[in-house]
Structure 1
Amino acid sequence: MNSIFNQLLNVKNVVVEDVRIVDSPLRPEPVLEVRVRPRRGMLRCSRCGRRRHGYDQGGGVRRWRHRDFGCWRVELVAMMPRVDCPGCGVVVASVPWAEPGSRFTRDFEAECAWLMTVANQKTVSGFLHVAWRTAGDIAHRVVDRLRADMPSPFDGLTAIGVDETSYRKGHTYLTVVVGHERRRVIRAHDGYGRDVFDLFFRQLADEQKASIKVVTGDGARWIDSCVKEHRPNAERVLAGFHVVSWMSDALDKVRKRLWNQARHEHDEETAKRMRGVKYAVLKNPGDLTDRQSEAFDALGNTDPKGRLYRAWQLRELLRTLLGHPIDQAKTELNHWVFWASRSRIPEIVELARRIRRRRPDILRTIQLGCSNARLEAFNNRIKVTIRMAYGSHHATNLIALVMLRCGGLDVRLPQPAI
């Protein structure tokens, strides 16, 4: 019997002493209680992990939740002896089936972590019968354990991307750093701004900093100042996606201004057509539906001065020049800034000043061919993760879940020990 349960528990260096079923009215369900003990000579300090001599049998027994056997809840029960460690003093000995301070076995935590990567809060909590906050703490421990067995994610970085993503109302953000070559999130931190990004660089060794050659991101000034301080020789690359989004935002502001102007002048036909092209002006020409194409073609009769149409043309010129060779793009960007600054459209003139100021970064983006597309894709996955992690009260648990799903960690279901 003991040998069978030794194999079923899937835990090495453990002796099964007794097995019984506990059906108490104080418990919501029957429990399969397995009394175990570590093998002789396996006592280790729970702090430094070294083998030590036993001190005493401790103050009693403890319980650890294990993976269920079918519909039976399984708990491991064991005495908690103490060891005499010269460096740490008299401390509780570690056990081979669980992390120090945890009330769950490693196999149970691995199963919970895997479920959190593929299922939402309700599924994980209902299937494992654990609170979501408890599952978040488990994810945090599993991430620390997996990362301790992997090489440092900061070694050999040459191109990184940085961006912030909101995870709660009230401008609450996570700052995410992605390694472009390894295609994974290497760091996530609560908050955003220069101070948060500065913590990332301070965590790196001098050799790790020196290997970074390219930093991609949006046009935030806190990224520029932080890169300039820690990696002045690195290439600062703007994401083409953000450059086009600047123009799309300016184009939408032009449409809103003309729509409000038509409403105040009681020009119902113009106001109706301006509202009808709300989504058409922000799409690429090849993505327009038939109805949107008709509304866009009728825009010339509605807007005699052609202000919105001219703004849309400037957006298309800016979008297409980003994919041209560097010499051609340099000439086209100069022409774009010239015509945009003389368009007499306030929103476009303001954007032309911004483009002129960031012109070297935009040309560097075209020349190097780097983009922040991978980070934007990770942002979509992180948004899905945030929705799946609805109910997380601590940012550390949310970050642990992001690392489980996007950090390239080898999250697997427990396998039989051979």
Structure 2
Amino acid sequence: MPNMRKTRCRNRGKTLLKMRAATCRNTYDSGGGERRWRHQDFGCYGVELMGLAPRVACAEHGVVVAQVPWAEPGSRFTRDFEMECAWLTAVASRKTVGGFLRIAWRTAGDIARRVAARLGSSMPCMFDGLTAIGVDETSYRKGRTYITVVVDHKRHRVIWAHGGYGKEVLDLFFRQLTDEQRASIKAVTGDGAKWIDASVKEHLPNAERVLDSFHIVSWMTDTLDQVRKRLWNQARRGNDKTATETMKGLKYAVLKNPGDLTERQSGALETLRDTDPRGQLYRSWQLKELLRTLPHQPVGQAEAELKRWIFRASHSRIPEVVELCRKIRRRRDDILGTIGPGYSNARLEAFNNKIKVTIRMAYGFRHADNLIAMIKLRCSGLPTHLPTPIL
């Protein structure tokens, strides 16, 4: 245990704890004399640790600075201060962290990255025992700037994240896995992105590719909105007042689930059904509802209903729906595979909401690595806690 001597610096209002570490046999030189590390504040007083950090001659790494027991190499803060900062960063806003600890936001990001790496190295490998994973990309800045996130469905935690998206980025994750870790993965959930299919096929040829039911329904809702916009523009250009009056209030009504409709939206949908039951918009809404309830049915019944949906959509003569029908027909086996095993990307979608909150809290970070560190502190099950005294 290093010797400690406490002094009060009245001019600076700080408490200095002078630490004297044990002298190493391989000491190379004094390394520039005393160094200071920021520690947790003592009430209204700032606290710094002062100690010698000599350079030592290492047979493997050459001449390096000796490591001190209270701080990480290259850091100007003690481990307790960094743990407090990481905990605050995960639960508080940028202004709170910077004002309470009197540090810059960029410094808080660097501390979060170091703490996340330190806590991650002390835990069992997150890649062991994977059976089902979820893959998705999340935007965190304007200009199509994304991060790719991988979630462990069994343990309900984020196990990997990296800046960017695409096959090249997901390949980086699979290359970090050993042969045994890759062989244990039986299912990969995600949206219908082709780059996910290509990467999974290359690295996990025996794994089942499961489409998320949320994204399957979102394909139809996007198509339904395209149909509504086209019909609205046609009615507006043709001065068809009857059609424009009928379509008023339908922008959100056709996209919502029937149980979530307001009274006004329900009335607008009933008016559409009574005035134009064979119209393109109402038939598109019916197809959306049929596809929405598909994942909640037994496998045998779902297969028959999907066949019926494909027949109705292909003969609907609605250009947007016919185009979507081609996509659904190509992914028919993947859609039925979603219903069978019961895997869902709902866990990843829930994490996406939490990640979005983290992105707002991390506003101002210039590097994706600091943002990813915050995501891991909040979503990876790392044992983040406030420092407590040893009793």
TM over 0.5: yes
- 2:19 aligns with 36
**Higher deviation after alignment, 314-323 or 270-279:** 270-279
- 1:219 aligns with 192
CA distance in 2, matches of 1:392, 1:268: 51
Q: Tell me which of 157, 175, 191 is aligned to 1:202.
A: 175
Per-residue deviation, 1:275: 3.9
Counterparts of 1:222-237 in structure 2, within 5 Å, are 222-237=195-210
Structure 2 residue 237 is the aligned partner of structure 1 residue 264 = yes
CA distance in 1, matches of 2:335, 2:55: 63
Task: Quickly say closer, same or farther: Cα 1:229–1:342, change in 2 above 3 A.
Answer: same
Per-residue deviation, 1:79: 1.8
State the one-letter code of the partner of 1:362: I
- The answer as to whether partners of 2:139 and 2:147 remain within 8 angstroms in 1 is yes
Per-residue deviation, 1:122: 0.8
- 1:10 aligns with none
Structure 2 residue 358 is the aligned partner of structure 1 residue 370 = no
Per-residue deviation, 1:301: 5.0
- 1:398 aligns with 371
CA distance in 2, matches of 1:106, 1:304: 68
- 1:23 aligns with 11
- 2:115 aligns with 142
Structure 2 residue 338 is the aligned partner of structure 1 residue 361 = no
CA distance in 1, matches of 2:176, 2:185: 14
- The answer as to whether partners of 2:132 and 2:154 remain within 8 angstroms in 1 is yes
Per-residue deviation, 1:360: 0.2
State the one-letter code of the partner of 2:15: L
- The answer as to whether partners of 2:112 and 2:374 remain within 8 angstroms in 1 is yes
**Higher deviation after alignment, 90-99 or 382-391:** 90-99
- 1:334 aligns with 307
Counterparts of 1:38-187 in structure 2, within 5 Å, are 38=21, 40=22, 43=24, 53-187=26-160
Q: Over residues 294-327 of structure 1, what are the superposed CA-to-partner deviations in whole Å (9 max), with x where a residue is unaligned?
A: 1111113554642111111111111112111111
Structure 2 residue 276 is the aligned partner of structure 1 residue 293 = no
Runs of 4+ in structure 1 over 4 Å off: none
- The answer as to whether partners of 1:270 and 1:302 remain within 8 angstroms in 2 is no
Structure 2 residue 298 is the aligned partner of structure 1 residue 310 = no
The 3-state SS of whatever aligns with 2:181 is: helix
- The answer as to whether partners of 1:270 and 1:303 remain within 8 angstroms in 2 is no
State the one-letter code of the partner of 1:124: V
Structure 2 residue 266 is the aligned partner of structure 1 residue 278 = no
The 3-state SS of whatever aligns with 1:356 is: helix
CA distance in 2, matches of 1:268, 1:62: 79
State the one-letter code of the partner of 2:304: T
The 3-state SS of whatever aligns with 1:280 is: coil
Per-residue deviation, 1:285: 0.7
Q: Once the two structures are aligned, what percentage of the paired residues are identical?
A: 66
Per-residue deviation, 1:243: 0.4
- The answer as to whether partners of 2:174 and 2:182 remain within 8 angstroms in 1 is yes
The 3-state SS of whatever aligns with 2:81 is: helix
Q: Over residues 322-350 of structure 1, what are the superposed CA-to-partner deviations in whole Å (9 max), with x where a residue is unaligned?
A: 11111111111101100110011111111
State the one-letter code of the partner of 2:56: V
State the one-letter code of the partner of 1:35: K
CA distance in 1, matches of 2:245, 2:351: 38
- The answer as to whether partners of 2:248 and 2:268 remain within 8 angstroms in 1 is no
CA distance in 2, matches of 1:417, 1:85: 32
Structure 2 unaligned spans of 5+? none
Per-residue deviation, 1:34: 1.8
Per-residue deviation, 1:272: 4.1
TM-score between the two structures when normalised by the length of structure 1: 0.91
CA distance in 2, matches of 1:366, 1:397: 37
Q: Tell me which of 322, 326, 338 is aligned to 1:349.
A: 322
Per-residue deviation, 1:408: 1.1
Q: Over residues 353-389 of structure 1, what are the superposed CA-to-partner deviations in whole Å (9 max), with x where a residue is unaligned?
A: 1100000000011011111000000001000000000
CA distance in 2, matches of 1:77, 1:275: 71
Q: Over residues 124-144 of structure 1, what are the superposed CA-to-partner deviations in whole Å (9 max), with x where a residue is unaligned?
A: 011101000000000000011
Per-residue deviation, 1:220: 0.4
Per-residue deviation, 1:151: 0.9
The 3-state SS of whatever aligns with 2:49 is: strand
- The answer as to whether partners of 1:22 and 1:33 remain within 8 angstroms in 2 is no
CA distance in 1, matches of 2:155, 2:95: 32
- 1:379 aligns with 352
CA distance in 2, matches of 1:348, 1:342: 9
**Higher deviation after alignment, 270-279 or 290-299:** 270-279
State the one-letter code of the partner of 1:373: A
CA distance in 2, matches of 1:61, 1:190: 39
Structure 1 unaligned spans of 5+? 1-12, 25-29, 44-51
Per-residue deviation, 1:257: 0.6
Q: Over residues 110-156 of structure 1, what are the superposed CA-to-partner deviations in whole Å (9 max), with x where a residue is unaligned?
A: 00000011101111011101000000000000011001111110011
The 3-state SS of whatever aligns with 1:36 is: strand
CA distance in 2, matches of 1:396, 1:275: 46
Per-residue deviation, 1:89: 2.5
